[in-house]
Structure 1
Amino acid sequence: MLVYPHDLSIGGSQINAIDLAAAVAEAGHEVIVYGIPGPLVSYIEERGLRYVPARPLKYRPAPSRIVQIAALARSERIDLIHAYEWPTCLDAYYGAGLLLNVPLLCTVLSMQVMPHVPASVPLIMGTSDLAIEARKTHRGQVWVLEPPIDVERDTPLVDGKGFRNRHGVTDNEFLVVTVSRLAIDLKLDALVRAIDAADILAGSYPLRLILLGDGPAREALTTRAAAVNRRHGREIVMLPGADLDPRSAYAAADLVIGMGSSALRALAIARPLIVQGEQAFSEIFEPSTVELFLRQGFYGLADGAAGAGRLAAQMEGLIKDPARRTALGRFGREMVTKRFGLQRAANLQLDIYRQVLTEPPRRRLIEAMRSVRLALMLEIANHDPFQKRAKTSREQEVLATVRSGIWPPVLRD
């Protein structure tokens, strides 16, 4: 088995891929993890998996990686390649898949169906809604496998006292934690609204907010947080950086706000949770919202309303009701253990592997040409100097608003 995460920076999708690879190896299969070197290489080694570094060419698909994967497939006699997201899928498809006929499976955990994956490649989608959407255009098999959580490692027994002591959070302070990449895409709206909600509530409650993570938006978010801290004359918001093992941060929290796998890990550690998304989306995870999140994933889109009043009101309701927080933490742990446990996911994935190996799809040259055309068009656009300048300018405008402006930003055309 060759498992190919889309990168090895710290992130939920990548950790899911590694955890599932380790579970498959524990079931008796030989697993190699292939990927561009990053912080999670140490995690791969910790899980006892063999790692092969990928060539770091930035193009998608990358000719050097297409050749490298094909060579690996031949020398290691790979039975199946499992790629995560469309760029890695194409790297595996055009050499090992198309020329050597090695069975290929692609997992897509991003929040949209990308047309770049060849239509015959079997797909695993992260939510029911995305699977329904994928089946409209995809002729290969499509399964749903929700992000798995290692409920034996992420448990209510994890001790958070050390984390609180390390960051100077006293017992009488209400600690809110977010564990996230500090990225501009997908994450930034939620992160800014978390800081603004803390600002709204800090005058009435002994509130602390810790944003654990790193990324290109960190400097701008730090500036916005510093303004909140100055306004209240004490440290309300902290950004201490990334942590490869954030379990103690979850355990230390009185409340977690987040999305995706981070949200699920918080539930596994029995923390009350507010799920965030983009465009001002936020909802408390509770019995009345379970079906929503099981259908669309732990993420959402709302109306883009100005300000953080919605999130602040949800936070305040939980601050005032410790009994409800305890009940929600217990409910979340039970749900994750039953539905999102790693061993359950590994068994489902092994069954999918057997189906792919039993009925490998017939590939067509026309779909290969269509996928490479779409990928090349995207790469040309991404490397167009005019579009790159426009994107950079837009990102700088957004980050300038993060530093000092009212959110969400009003961007120029």
Structure 2
Amino acid sequence: MRLLVYPHDLSIGGSQINAIDLAAGAAAAGHEVIVYGIPGPLVDYIAERGLRFIPARPLHYRPAPSRIAQIATIALRNRIDLVHTYEWPSCLDAYYGASLFLNVPLLCTVLSMDVMPYVPASVPLIMGTADLGAQARKVQRSDVWVLEPPIDVDYDNPRIDGSAFRSRLGVSADDFLVVSVSRLALDLKLDALVRALDAVDMLAGQYPLKLVLVGDGPAREALASRAKAVNLRHGRDVVLLPGAEMDPRPAYAAADLVVGMGSSALRALAIGRPLIVQGEKAFSEIFEPTTYDLFLKQGFYGLSDASAGSHRLARQIEELLLDPARRSRLGSYGRQVVAERFSLKRAIDLQLDIYRHVLASPPRRSFADAARSARLALTLEFANHDPARKKSKKLRELAILSAARSGRWPPEAAEYGQ
């Protein structure tokens, strides 16, 4: 097969790394693979995996006419058999040229936590959780598969040494280290990050624990301000923000406990760390045999009751802090689960089977689908560029960041957009 793989962007993130790893797996299986995307930090990672990269034109509109034409040209010149896109904007860039008019088979992976209405109903989908797969089948006429985010269990393994990471950040052997590896973003991430910080604040007066937030993003300054207040309150470094790590494996390995979601949660398990899965609206659950089915169904993420405070998470952290034997058992259990269910090798085999299925079925072109998706996407794009809406969005973001910086969390519902 000659494949064109198009991640939704090339910033550092779990879904983007998954896309590249799966592309490299397809190449290793003997297929010709090109990765296409707007240049970002992961371009070097694409080169490390030995993949050919074609930079996308950087137009900010969704869908982007220049990228629609560019993908069609690439498909023709390279005789592409199948285009595999990630998330709906990339899907539409490929759909309106290569797929709709050149009849190149198209597959879209959606790893966001919603079934997006912008994807044409005739496009085959891969969803990241069983729940989302069931929802997608209600609206898609095409085939829908479920493929959880994969982990390279050889690359991410319990033998990785985290001692240098602890030493570099001044974390002693007596400190109980909680680690989060995440984009410091407002959407999806900020609620979990603030609650992790507040939970550690609640416990720091009683226990010698520290929290390290590994990552970068637009919420960094606000989180650093909140962390500074916590550190001043306790007279020591309780919360540290060292920035993003291109290779975060030593950070996971250094942890006594990891808090996180999505691919980050799975990487922690692969490295043998006990894990508390976070989501939004105060969701947090310890990953253990009794919660395995829950996370298999909904993914390593969740929504709760939006309660004020971080008492639930603090209790869970304290439970594990006080029980090293349980932490050891959970670390071994998590490693076993990831190796058996979420390994990259298993995911590559499943994805190649999906490719073969898509290629065996002619593309289901539908101009009615094309018109509907174009209308929805253009309506959203016009709304995103509306000055009043942009001002409202900016004010909302400022209110959220202000609360994250020093205020009561979560912010008032009206400010937080609930």
Q: TM-score range by the shorter chain?
A: over 0.9
Q: Distance in 2 between matches of 1:295 and 1:75?
A: 41
Q: Which residue of 368, 371, 382 maps to 1:369? A: 371
Which aligned pairs between 1:143-182 and structure 2 lie closer than 5 A?
A: 143-182=145-184
Which aligned pairs between 1:380-391 and structure 2 lie closer than 5 A?
A: 380-391=382-393
Residue equivalent to 1:142: 144
Q: Distance in 1 between matches of 2:58 and 2:97?
A: 17
Letter in 1 for 2:165: F
Report how far residue 10 of structure 1 moved. Answer: 0.5
Report how far residue 106 of structure 1 moved. Answer: 0.1
Residue equivalent to 1:45: 47
Displaced runs of 4+ in structure 1, greater than 4 A? none
Which aligned pairs between 1:14-413 and structure 2 lie closer than 5 A?
A: 14-412=16-414
What do residues 317-349 of structure 1 show as CA deviations (whole Å, max 9, x unaligned)? 000000000000000000000000000000000
Q: Distance in 2 between matches of 1:365 and 1:194?
A: 47
Q: Distance in 1 between matches of 2:413 and 2:127?
A: 33
Q: Check conservation: 2:106, 2:363, Cα contact below 8 A.
A: no
Q: How many percent of aligned residue pairs carry the same amino acid?
A: 71
What do residues 232-271 of structure 1 show as CA deviations (whole Å, max 9, x unaligned)? 0000001111111100000000000000000000000000
Equivalent position SS for 1:209: strand
Consecutive unaligned residues of structure 1, counting only runs of 5 or more, are none
Q: Check conservation: 1:307, 1:407, Cα contact below 8 A.
A: yes
Q: Distance in 1 between matches of 2:362 and 2:90?
A: 19
Q: Distance in 2 between matches of 1:371 and 1:161?
A: 51
Q: Distance in 2 between matches of 1:291 and 1:412?
A: 34
Report how far residue 397 of structure 1 moved. Answer: 0.6
Q: Check conservation: 1:140, 1:361, Cα contact below 8 A.
A: no
Report how far residue 364 of structure 1 moved. Answer: 1.0
Q: Distance in 1 between matches of 2:413 and 2:284?
A: 23
Equivalent position SS for 1:78: coil
Report how far residue 107 of structure 1 moved. Answer: 0.2
Q: Distance in 2 between matches of 1:129 and 1:344?
A: 21
Q: Check conservation: 2:103, 2:363, Cα contact below 8 A.
A: no
Q: Check conservation: 1:397, 1:411, Cα contact below 8 A.
A: no
Q: Distance in 1 between matches of 2:284 and 2:116?
A: 25
Q: Distance in 2 between matches of 1:360 and 1:273?
A: 43
Letter in 2 for 1:407: W
Letter in 2 for 1:203: G
Report how far residue 411 of structure 1 moved. Answer: 4.7
Q: Check conservation: 1:147, 1:340, Cα contact below 8 A.
A: yes
Report how far residue 403 of structure 1 moved. Answer: 1.1
Q: Check conservation: 2:83, 2:107, Cα contact below 8 A.
A: yes
Q: Distance in 2 between matches of 1:391 and 1:114?
A: 20
Residue equivalent to 1:3: 5
Letter in 2 for 1:233: G
Report how far residue 412 of structure 1 moved. Answer: 4.2
Report how far residue 193 of structure 1 moved. Answer: 0.2
Consecutive unaligned residues of structure 2, counting only runs of 5 or more, are none
Equivalent position SS for 2:119: coil
What do residues 378-410 of structure 1 show as CA deviations (whole Å, max 9, x unaligned)? 001100000000000010011111111110001
Report how far residue 360 of structure 1 moved. Answer: 2.4
Q: Distance in 2 between matches of 1:30 and 1:248?
A: 33
Q: Distance in 1 between matches of 2:89 and 2:408?
A: 36
Q: Check conservation: 2:123, 2:364, Cα contact below 8 A.
A: no
Q: Distance in 2 between matches of 1:110 and 1:87?
A: 12
Residue equivalent to 2:14: 12
- RMSD of Structure 2 on Structure 1 (CA): 0.6
Q: Distance in 1 between matches of 2:229 and 2:44?
A: 36
Letter in 1 for 2:333: F
